[in-house]
Each structure stands twice: as C-alpha cells, then as structure tokens.
Amino acid sequence: MKGAGVWIWGLLWCVVGVAALSRSVDGFDDLSAKESLLSLLETDDTSPSPANQLMVPLTLIHGAAAKGAVCLDGTPPGYHLHRGSGSVLLLFQANQLNFRGQRIWSAAMEELMAQGMKNAEQALLSGCSAGGLASILHCDEFGDLFPKTTKVKCLSDAGMFLDAIDVGGGRTLRNMFNGVVKLQGVAKNLPNTCTSQMDPTSCFFPQNLVANIKTPMFLLNAAYDVWQIHQSLAPSTADPHGYWKDCKENHAQCNASQIQFLQDFRDQMLNAINVFSKSEQNGLFINSCFAHCQSEKQDTWFANDSPVIAEKAIAVSVGDWFLDRTTVKAVDCAYPCDKSCHDLVFK
C-alpha cells in the first residue's frame, strides 16, 4: 500500500435534519480521527498518525435538488472530498434515519464517480450509527459501482441495531423503524434477498441482511451498545417508573437482573452475526463495552490505552482485515471481563 498515493476521501452528509439518533453519544465532526484511518491504511503500519489535520471543503451536490434528493429540511446534501489517487474512503455521516436517502445516495455516487472515484484501486464505505446501518444497507450497491479489479469493502460501526424486546415487553426500535420504512418509502430500496422472504421493516434490521452481503464487510460494535440501551431497550416510554434511569446513566449502577437483561442483549447480538461470521472475507470486532461509535475518535480507534481484544486495537483489527493481512473475528468475553473499555458514563 505504500506509495498508493493520497486517498480520496468523501464524506456524505446532510447539514441538518430530524435527529432521530441522539447526537450526544455520537462522535460526529471528528475529522482528525478519519485522518488516522486514512493514515493507518495508507502507510500500512500501526504507528499513530501525526495530527496533521486536513481541511476539506464541503461540496454541495448541485444536481441533487433537481432529482429530489434533498435532506429532510430541504437543503441539498453535500460531501467532503479529498482528492488524490488510488484509493477511496467514503464515510457516511448520518445523524438521522434519513432513507429518503436513496436519492441522495444515487446523486452523490454519480457525482463522486464522475469526480474520479471510478479510478480508485481500493474503496472503503464506512459509517457510524445510522451511518453504520446505511453502510450495511448500501454495501453491495457500493461494491457494484466498481470494476471487479477494485478492492471494495464496507465497515459498519455501531450499526448493528437489533430487533429486540424492550424492558417493557414492547418493540420500541421496531416501531421506530416501521415509521421510517413507511414514511420514507424505503421498501423498494431494500435488498430483495431479504424482502422476498420478510416484511420491509424486518429487512431494515441488519440481523436479516448481513449474512447475504456479498461485499466483504466488517462489523464493529459494542456488545452493550449505549444508544440501543437508551433508545431501544430502556427508553422512558418502556420504563415509565424510571427503574432503569441509574443503570442507563452508569452501568456500574445496574443491579443483577438488569445486567442479566443486558447479557441477553449481547447473546442476541452474537446470534445475529453467527452466519455472517462464518465467511472468511468478513471481519468482526464486538467488544464488551458500554460504547457507541468507536471508529470516529482517536481515543477508541487507536491510542496507547484504546479498547483492545486480545491486545489488538480497533484500528489494527480493521487494518488487518482491510489489507488482507489476517482474518479478524474478534469477539470479547462477556462483561465485566474487558478492562480496556472507554465506557460512556452520563453521570
């Protein structure tokens, strides 16, 4: 990879929108962390990158509005593109479940391909949270844009949203996804390997998609995904008496039955990736941490004390997988065994 030249770096985003996903726990806007991914993959070594921050201007997709590809607030979508030669790293920046997004996606891809992305030797589609889900949903479509000779892979960070039963016995996230699927008419854009078997809302859940993705994919996720604990498992609507309030703020305050509930969630996560994990080309890093989005900040991505599984940091694991150095199937033992976590604590 040395000498492959500067990476092209595209970052697709909507400026504002309905924040269906909580912003507070997401590490958005952290450009330097992306730089370290670039630097890691580009230099093919594991040394921390110098903090040479690069300012990349925002490009609005001019043709987008005409094609109806607008963000929820009516503004055109944009992307950051750092041009170079050789490789592409495309990051979804999504702080919303905006899957009217198909038009945005198509318009952006058209423009990025025209700008030279079609000549990339290597391309990685990546995103965190809603962007992580988007990179699962669009992975094969992204792969199909390139000739067979291009190395194309996808990384989903914190995108493994599970169709789980909440603490009140309901299905909070399924109801939310149902609304997104109906409102934004995404059904026709979901992979038909799934929609031919199941209802569209089920096909919005990665657990019903990942086993059938043809393009090599890496799933990075905390087993105790904090966004899901807050918004899907124990939102206040499912916990009207606030029994989960303290536990949500700090996992150290969870009692034994709450921990058991969370262990069960981890088991569901591991079940959901079981078939996916059997494919040699796929990668995994499921750590037993209370986190959400671990690829976007230097402290969780690659630092002296960043989270590890078997002494390997996330950046090294993703790098090994992307560059075909080794297969990576890193799954941690259950809480509280991992002492390297950067757990999110809200109080």
Please list the active-site residues.
129, 225, 292
Least distance (Å) between residue 265 CB and ligand NAG = 16
| CA dist., res. 262 & res. 346, Å (int) | 18
Q: Which stretch binds ligand NAG (CB under 6 A): 6-14, 15-23, 215-223, 251-259?
A: 251-259
Contact residue for ligand NAG among 51, 114, 256, 310 (CB under 6 A) = 256
Contact residue for ligand NAG among 135, 208, 221, 258 (CB under 6 A) = 258
Residue 240 as a binder of ligand NAG (CB under 6 A): the answer is no
Number of residues near ligand NAG (by CB under 6 A): 5
CA-based nearest residue to 296, from 50, 32, 47: 32
| DSSP code string of 83-105 | --SSEEEEEEE-SS---THHHHH
Q: State the Cα angle at 145 between 8 and 83, rounded to 5°.
A: 10
Name which of 35 and 166 has its Cβ closer to ligand NAG.
166
Name which of 263 and 281 has its Cβ closer to ligand NAG.
263
| CA dist., res. 24 & res. 180, Å (int) | 21
| CA dist., res. 187 & res. 22, Å (int) | 24
Contact residue for ligand NAG among 237, 255, 274, 327 (CB under 6 A) = 255
Name which of 226 and 254 has its Cβ closer to ligand NAG.
254
| CA dist., res. 171 & res. 297, Å (int) | 31
Least distance (Å) between residue 183 CB and ligand NAG = 34
CA-based nearest residue to 343, from 215, 254, 260, 251: 251
Q: Which residues bind ligand NAG (CB under 6 A)?
A: 243, 255-258
